[in-house]
Structure 1
Amino acid sequence: MRKWGISVLLFSMLLFILSPATGIASDQFHPGSLYNTFRQAADEFKVPSEILLAVSYVETRWQDHKGQPSQLNGYGLMHLADNPSNQSLKEASRLLGLPESTLKKNIKHNIRGGAAVLAELAKENNGGTIPQNLADWYVTVAEYSGLSSEIAAKWYADEVFKVINEGAQRVIDGKDIFILPTPVTPHKGKYENIEKSMDKQATPDYPGARWIPASSTNYTAANRESDGNSIDYVIIHTTEGSYSGTISWFQNPASNVSAHYVIRSSDGEITQMVQNKDIAWHAGNWNYNVHSIGIEHEGYVSDPAWYTDAMYRASANLTRWLCDRYGIPKNRNHIIAHSEVPGATHTDPGPHWDWNYYMSLINQSEEYVFDNTGPHMASDAWGTSSWNSQKYGSNYRFADPVLASDPFWYQITVPSAGNYDVYGWWPANSGYNSRAPVVIKTTSGYQTVYVNQQLNGGKWNYLGRFNLAQGTDYFIGVSRWTSSPGYVVADAFKLVKQ
């Protein structure tokens, strides 16, 4: 048996034995056919399942986007690509003897195609043999990205190994897909010192941003503000692809597109690619290009999981800084979606972008967070767990559903009466409740919002705007009163003053 080649049955047994007993049983992962497809492809092509799963997570968050390509013309969960610098789709077709059309839309064969390409690259990098140590896959992962920029390829591999080290999980089609945290220090080979040479060239406008210049053929050199062209707008985009892939694409002279900034989903890291004084080609409308700053956010319009709190906060800080620097009003008339640009054919950032929350961060609205560890009122039926990594803070509470009133009440101090946007945070799992009641005490009585705790874990979820009285009271409760199966979870809530 290989070091990392555990059968699905044995893996499930080890998961039950080794996971910490922290309230919710350690067998709460319920892997389905998608997870098993990754495991089978890993076994077939002798690729570590951690590599295969993490590459797919970084590329697509385990979504196939129904056969629609990314900005880099990559398809499926493994982002098999067909572009000038990445021919992984064609290579997978050759290795498997399957038509490209099948690999674009068939989930099983797309995963097998990604595994086959990874295995072939691994052999090329290791004298014809498959590496036996997880740490030795770094260079192969960087090359799998197919990115023409070496620094972008390095950042891509860094992200993959970060996911392996920290773990990841989602619920797809009602079943869990996940990577358990696996400590590994990768051997970076030729990519080890690339970043040091890049740092010497760093000249970002925004403090703290990385600087990687877009190709000079993808933007117009200018001297805005000094030349009479004012900067009046910030335009919000979604990359429809990965962070590193977008950076590489803007460096490609053939792309004819750029933005001033790109922001990573996982941690809000910012890379500037066009100086603020220059005109990036991002809006699809020349007049708006001339008078705006473009910010790209890693992710896909169709999947809200990419829009993390870290990304929102990093982007809001950047936008606030831009508004202060150039005198841009901090309102929705001047901070706009790509889809709102006259003549736009794009839909980004789409319906999952929380404009209320984003604008509240830009304008530094009062916000108050209440975790389950704070003052509360609950029966002994509510257990405590730290098992799920998507939790807010150190732990969360959980209980079985019952057709009776037994809520976990949060004692909250509302500093002044008025309207508040209410957000909830919970970890997600297929064994959690799909219709968990959240009860909110408003000035007009109790209101109940039902939330699906199998989805949208590890992020703030907007529950609505409510008028609350001033004072200290049990304003929010998570009720057990639901006929839906699965644990009801009480984690954290946020109030944002309007």
Structure 2
Amino acid sequence: MRKKWGIPILLFSLLFFTLSPAVGIASDRYRPGSLYQTFQQAADEFEVPVEILLAVSYVETRWQDHKGKPSQLNGYGLMHLADNPSNQSLKEASRLLGIPESTLKKNIKQNIRGGAAVLAKRAKKHNGGTSPNNLADWYVPVAEYSGLSSEIAAKWYADEVFKVINQGAQRVIDGEDLFIPPTPVTPHKGKYEDAEKSMEKQATPDYPGARWVPASSSNYTVANRESDGNSIDYVIIHTTQGSYSGTISWFQNPSSKVSAHYVIRSSDGEITQMVQNKDIAWHAGNWNYNVHSIGIEHEGYVSDPAWYTDAMYRASANLTRWLCDRYGIPKNRNHIIGHNEVPGATHTDPGPHWDWNYYMSLVNQSEEFVFDNTGPHLASDAWGTSSWNSQKYGSNYRFAEPLLASDPFWYQITVPSSGSYDIYGWWPANSGYNSRTPVVIKTTSGYQTVYVNQQLNGGKWNYLGRFNLSQGTDYFIGVSRWTSTPGYVVADAFKLIKR
């Protein structure tokens, strides 16, 4: 939603509040609700550290239960209780709790209890029948909880869980905070310590910097593209509908009958190649497109934009650009397509939350301009400074209480040339932040306002729209306090990309 702003009102508000006295800086904090308490209760009941329970759920689902719908590995709920040939945690949880599988699939509380019960059983198996007191001793139980048949995939799964514990994580779920404070821990990896050494003897990936983990030979067709006359004409973008490690393990399972050339992790953009570029992966659902394409899987779920991180976008765009340069694929949307755009496709990935404009700008290396709150700006003393929220861009962000007057935090921006620009905003998210923060943009046709929900989509670039801007240095973007919605308004960072 956008509305026009009168220049006199903006200037008056800015002048008035620039001269107003400073206010006290309120502190950020978590606001845990009923879901956090459910995790805590299950942790206490089954003697599982709440950090383990929360981190496993975060790695599997980003704390989304998907309303009883299964993942690609047939896993359910926040704890991804699974029912597949290599992982029977759903049935196991049902036996341990005496609760029907159908309840565990859809009931959030019982699903969390089921995951805790299975984790506790794994831990006691490796600790003489008792739960480990040391957080570091939960690494092997976590790896086994994954249910992944591939040892290297199970190791990477546990690595990711402990990385989340070390770095911390937070999200707003249904208006309440779920969080793991950063907790330093060096895990005891046991039998998984040397799991990656076997990879040294395997084939090297085509793409520099990628890891190589081969898919099962039952899941792709050996070929010799392009020497065999089959040109590579497309890059096809997929979403895994599951975790990074789970997808790698699934492609190694000969019964899956599916594969992709590359899999990319959400948290840091790590790339694993599983099928050589010359070979034909089974990913498109259309044989002709399989023959003439490279498939790239992206960790996540199409329904949840949190998985599509800036690190993932950049890693994937670099890979796609490299593939296009190597095989002469035009860098346009006719040749870089989603799985849903393959003729005859029944899949919807990468879905509506995949930002094609941003992705293609990265593939084509469009010039981008980032403006952080620490750069040139104009703001009253009412705007506090904080570095508390880990989803921030750079070293800190600014925040203020809302009120029915503008008092914007203005960013001084240099627009190199007049024209059309895509504008993105970055903010940390928290349940105590504003769900209707006004962002004021000075365009060639006047001031326009976009309202953003700063309780959601923190720690990533969010598309605000395409705007015509004039060349020059001016206060082109401002975060206003003028909203009747409660919660801090936050000014962090913005990005311009010339179209």
Shared fold by TM > 0.5?
A: yes
Match of 2:59 in 1: 58
Q: Counterpart amino acid of 2:183?
A: T
Q: Does structure 2 retain, via aligned residues, the 8 Å contact 1:439–1:447? A: yes
Match of 1:10 in 2: none
Q: Give runs of aligned pairs for residues 1-80 of structure 1, distance below 5 A.
A: 23-26=25-28, 28-80=29-81
Match of 1:184 in 2: 185
For these two proteins, the number of residue pairs brought into alignment is 476
TM-superposition CA deviations, 1:28-64 (whole Å, max 9, x none): 2111111110000000000000000000000000000
Q: Counterpart amino acid of 1:351?
A: P
1:202 and 1:472 map into 2 onto residues whose CA distance is: 52
TM-superposition CA deviations, 1:406-458 (whole Å, max 9, x none): 00000000001100000000000000000000000000100000000000000
Q: Give runs of aligned pairs for residues 326-341 of structure 1, distance below 5 A.
A: 326-341=327-342
3-state SS, counterpart of residue 177 of structure 2: strand
1:231 and 1:64 map into 2 onto residues whose CA distance is: 38
Q: Does structure 2 retain, via aligned residues, the 8 Å contact 1:23–1:387? A: no
Q: Counterpart amino acid of 2:230?
A: N
TM-superposition CA deviations, 1:79-137 (whole Å, max 9, x none): 00000000000000000000000000000000000000000011111121110000000
TM-superposed CA distance for 1:396, in Å, is 0.2
1:213 and 1:327 map into 2 onto residues whose CA distance is: 26
Q: Does structure 2 retain, via aligned residues, the 8 Å contact 1:24–1:385? A: no
Q: Does structure 2 retain, via aligned residues, the 8 Å contact 1:382–1:398? A: yes
Match of 1:243 in 2: 244
Are 1:495 and 2:496 matched, yes or no?
Answer: yes
2:191 and 2:328 map into 1 onto residues whose CA distance is: 45
Q: Counterpart amino acid of 2:134?
A: N
Are 1:422 and 2:414 matched, yes or no?
Answer: no
Match of 1:17 in 2: none
Structure 2 unaligned residues grouped into runs of 5+: 1-23
Match of 1:477 in 2: 478
Match of 1:4 in 2: none
Are 1:152 and 2:153 matched, yes or no?
Answer: yes
Are 1:258 and 2:254 matched, yes or no?
Answer: no
TM-superposed CA distance for 1:23, in Å, is 4.9
TM-superposed CA distance for 1:24, in Å, is 4.4
2:116 and 2:25 map into 1 onto residues whose CA distance is: 36
2:221 and 2:77 map into 1 onto residues whose CA distance is: 34
Q: Give runs of aligned pairs for residues 2-401 of structure 1, distance below 5 A.
A: 23-26=25-28, 28-401=29-402
TM-superposition CA deviations, 1:268-318 (whole Å, max 9, x none): 000000000000000000000000000000000000000000000000000
Q: Counterpart amino acid of 1:54?
A: A
Q: Give runs of aligned pairs for residues 393-472 of structure 1, distance below 5 A.
A: 393-472=394-473
1:405 and 1:383 map into 2 onto residues whose CA distance is: 16
2:65 and 2:498 map into 1 onto residues whose CA distance is: 38
Q: Does structure 2 retain, via aligned residues, the 8 Å contact 1:202–1:210? A: no
1:334 and 1:197 map into 2 onto residues whose CA distance is: 37
Q: Counterpart amino acid of 1:255?
A: S
Q: Does structure 2 retain, via aligned residues, the 8 Å contact 1:433–1:452? A: yes
Q: Counterpart amino acid of 1:25?
A: S
1:428 and 1:199 map into 2 onto residues whose CA distance is: 41
TM-superposition CA deviations, 1:381-424 (whole Å, max 9, x none): 00100000000000000000011120000000000110000000
TM-superposed CA distance for 1:202, in Å, is 4.2
TM-superposition CA deviations, 1:146-184 (whole Å, max 9, x none): 000000000000000000000000000000000000000
2:312 and 2:402 map into 1 onto residues whose CA distance is: 34
1:167 and 1:95 map into 2 onto residues whose CA distance is: 30
Match of 2:19 in 1: none
Structure 1 residues 275, 131: closer, same or farther in 2, change over 3 A?
same
TM-superposed CA distance for 1:200, in Å, is 2.9
TM-superposed CA distance for 1:25, in Å, is 1.4
Q: Counterpart amino acid of 2:221?
A: T
Q: Which has the higher contact order (CA 8 A, sep 6+)?
A: 2
Q: Does structure 2 retain, via aligned residues, the 8 Å contact 1:24–1:387? A: no
1:405 and 1:440 map into 2 onto residues whose CA distance is: 13
Q: Counterpart amino acid of 1:242?
A: S
Q: Which runs of structure 1 show a deviation greater than 4 angstroms over 4 or more consecutive aligned residues? A: none
Q: Counterpart amino acid of 2:497?
A: V
1:356 and 1:408 map into 2 onto residues whose CA distance is: 27
TM-superposition CA deviations, 1:320-368 (whole Å, max 9, x none): 0000000000000000000000111100000000000000000000100
3-state SS, counterpart of residue 35 of structure 1: helix
1:226 and 1:23 map into 2 onto residues whose CA distance is: 65
Q: Does structure 2 retain, via aligned residues, the 8 Å contact 1:417–1:470? A: yes
2:274 and 2:293 map into 1 onto residues whose CA distance is: 15
Report the RMSD for the aligned CA atoms in angstroms.
0.8
TM-score with structure 2 length normalisation? 0.95
Match of 1:8 in 2: none
Q: Does structure 2 retain, via aligned residues, the 8 Å contact 1:309–1:459? A: yes
2:406 and 2:115 map into 1 onto residues whose CA distance is: 50
Structure 1 residues 330, 383: closer, same or farther in 2, change over 3 A?
same
1:454 and 1:64 map into 2 onto residues whose CA distance is: 19
TM-score with structure 1 length normalisation? 0.95
